[in-house]
Amino acid sequence: MRPLLDRALQGYNACLFAYGQTGSGKTYSILGSESGPDAGIIPRFCCDLFSRPEVKGRTAGSPSLSLPATPAQDDERVQFQVEMSYVEIYNEKLYDLVGEEDEEGAVREALRVREHPTLGPHIVGAAVHPITSYEQLKMWLCHGNRERSIAATGMNEKSSRSHSVFTLKLTRTQTESVGGEELQHSRVSNISIVDLAGSERIGASGGYADRMKEGVCINKSLLTLGKVITALAESATGKRRCFESLGGNSETAMLATISPASCYAEETLATLRYAGQARNIVNVKHINEDPAARIIRSLKAEVERLRARHSLRVSPTKLFVTERSPVTPANHQKKTNEQLAEEEARRAEEMLVREREIAALKHELSSCTSQLHRAKEEWNRRLEKSARAAAAALGRCEKAGIFVRDVLPSDERPCLVNLCDDEQLSEHLCYALKDGATTLGAQHTDLILKGLHSSGVHCTIYNDQGSLSLKATSGCEVFVNGELIEENCMLRHKDRLVLAGIYFLLVWIPKDETANSGSNDTKNFAYAREELLRCQEQRLRKQILEEEELARRELLQELQLKKQSVQQLQLNL
């Protein structure tokens, strides 16, 4: 990603998209861990961006913006504005991952894509947050990944089988001193990092109806992307976002992931053919800057040329005064009075033209300066709005008791860890358990778990100095280690908690000394699901046997009653 970052800092668009079959490592390569040696492309790219000497301390809104100019930068100053957005595409519908959340329990509406005549395709209603530091960007990235984890954990209409598009908008504003006046011009770079959902054969996946629908939408969008790569023509809803990155104005890279298993040889060849077609695309790249900047740069070059030509040592505002060049005696003899008059008239006319150009340029410069002041005020307002949105997002997470899984090893508080069929989203969220009673439910509870059937409290967990006990609400299904709980029960470290067959949670009690020796074994989503199915099967078998035994007893009692009635009739006869 460093070559792409270098080009982006120069003013070019940049894009990286990952393509490959399901389970080949696309999401892990793009996201990875949030920090450390296993960090993915997005965290590394963002960290490298804010670590660059030309960006560090020069981000608009950062405390260290005003830096002393170096000798090479006495007449120019550089400032960067960074904005980010994060959306996912699920079943050909766009959803914002970092937008403002609606009221509790509300279903988010899909966003729409519109075509602007000059700006191109853009997403209507998608949140775009100004960024001043890597820590702030990391917070929004974690928030977006947390939203995907919550959606996948609840197993509702959105799952982890979706495309994700992470976009950074980098605006480089340079201030130059020309003739004692400050001149500003900017370059804008759009950086897109796309994690495409894995392609697969539906027959081989063996999914249910919802999974088959997801697979159809995924394969349809990937097929359309293939058409864009080969023909650059039609496109699906989500791929219109990548038009500028494929065969357009962008520096584009493709990450092709494959599986080493021989049974996936067909998918591997398809991925390699896909990558081979992508290599044949020729992008026409140019620096994204406003036309006024190019005009101003050309006029500045003209001023420098005239200064060198006339060897004047005056300011550019007095560049075209009528100052006669030294004339040697030989040249003076050759020039007649008429030639001198013509030369003076030509210089006067040129001076008037240049003065009009300078006046028009000053007027345009003052207009641009006022626009920049308004843009700076708007940027400050956006920073304040983004800070309020970040505080609100953190407040919602704290209210819901959610925090990031990476803080778990150094935290001794009991909590519930999410389990999901997607390994990248599993064990990513933690629901903190406060001292005393913690209620779980779909709404109006301490821990809000959207998607539960009951509208009130589903169950209650009591925390007594690290000792946990659970009480299920009557009529609500709560399973612990696969067993249906009808009364109170104690919870131990790494117990599997399943709510209504929808939420799979892992009980985490770091101080639990009663945990058995096998507690270090892997207890993932597959283990919890198989355990639940196995226990349900045993419970159903036991229920069937009990019903058969009850029916047998009832039949024996009925036979005994009939036998007694027959004997009574015989005695009466």
CA dist 477 and 107 (Å) reads 24
Q: How does DSSP assign 367-432, residue by residue? A: HHHHHHHHHHHHHHHHHHHHHHHHHHHHHHHHHHTEEEGGGSTT--S-EEEEE-SSTTTTT-EEEE
Kindly tell me if the per-residue pLDDT of 511 is higher than 70: yes
The mean per-residue pLDDT over the stretch 262-281 comes to 82
Residue 46 burial (CB count, 10 A) = 24
Strand 436-441 relative to strand 447-448: parallel, antiparallel, unpaired?
parallel
Tokens representing 22 are 């399901």
Residue 284 burial (CB count, 10 A) = 8
Q: Which of 2, 83, 78 is nearest to 45 (CA)?
A: 2
Residue numbers in the known binding site for ATP are 20-27
Write down the pLDDT at residue 88: 87
CA dist 86 and 83 (Å) reads 11
Tokens representing 120 are 């191109």
Burial class (CB in 10 A: 0-12, 13-18, 19+), 10: middle
Residue of higher predicted confidence among 123 and 177: 123
The mean per-residue pLDDT over the stretch 412-427 comes to 78
Kindly tell me if the per-residue pLDDT of 43 is higher than 80: yes
Kindly tell me if the per-residue pLDDT of 558 is higher than 50: yes
Strand 429-432 relative to strand 93-96: parallel, antiparallel, unpaired?
unpaired
Least confident of 194-203, 346-355, 413-422: 194-203
Tokens representing 453 are 């059937």
Residue of higher predicted confidence among 117 and 526: 526
The mean per-residue pLDDT over the stretch 114-130 comes to 76
What are the pLDDT digits (tens) for 171-227? Answer: 888 877 665 666 677 888 889 898 887 665 555 444 455 555 655 666 666 666 665
Q: What is the three-class DSSP state of 172?
A: strand
Residue of higher predicted confidence among 156 and 294: 294
As beta bridge partners, residue 499 has: 478, 503
Kindly tell me if the per-residue pLDDT of 102 is higher than 60: no
How far CA 544 is from CA of 213, 446, 554, in Å, comes to 36, 38, 15
Residue of higher predicted confidence among 472 and 413: 472
What are the pLDDT digits (tens) for 80-92? Answer: 889 999 988 887 7
Q: What is the three-class DSSP state of 252?
A: strand
Kindly tell me if the per-residue pLDDT of 27 is higher than 60: yes
Mean model confidence pLDDT for the chain: 74
Residue of higher predicted confidence among 2 and 336: 2
Report the residue count for the chain: 573
Least confident of 61-65, 410-414, 565-569: 61-65
What are the pLDDT digits (tens) for 48-75? Answer: 998 888 777 666 655 443 333 444 444 3
CB 12 within 8 A of CB 285: yes
CA dist 168 and 190 (Å) reads 6
Strand 496-499 relative to strand 478-480: parallel, antiparallel, unpaired?
antiparallel
pLDDT band at 236 (very low <50, low <70, confident <90, very high): very low
Write down the pLDDT at residue 313: 44
Beta strand segments in 407-515, E: 415-419, 429-432, 436-441, 447-448, 457-464, 467-472, 478-480, 483-484, 489-491, 496-499, 503-508
The mean per-residue pLDDT over the stretch 90-99 comes to 83
The mean per-residue pLDDT over the stretch 515-536 comes to 74
Residue 414 burial (CB count, 10 A) = 24
What are the pLDDT digits (tens) for 479-505? Answer: 999 888 888 899 998 899 998 888 889
Kindly tell me if the per-residue pLDDT of 44 is higher than 80: yes
Write down the pLDDT at residue 224: 61
Kindly tell me if the per-residue pLDDT of 169 is higher than 70: yes
The mean per-residue pLDDT over the stretch 10-38 comes to 82
Residue numbers in the known binding site are 20-27
* Angle made by CA atoms 134, 40, 227, in degrees to the nearest 5: 110
CA dist 162 and 164 (Å) reads 6
Scan for tokens 């190019």, then name that residue. Answer: 294
Kindly tell me if the per-residue pLDDT of 354 is higher than 70: yes
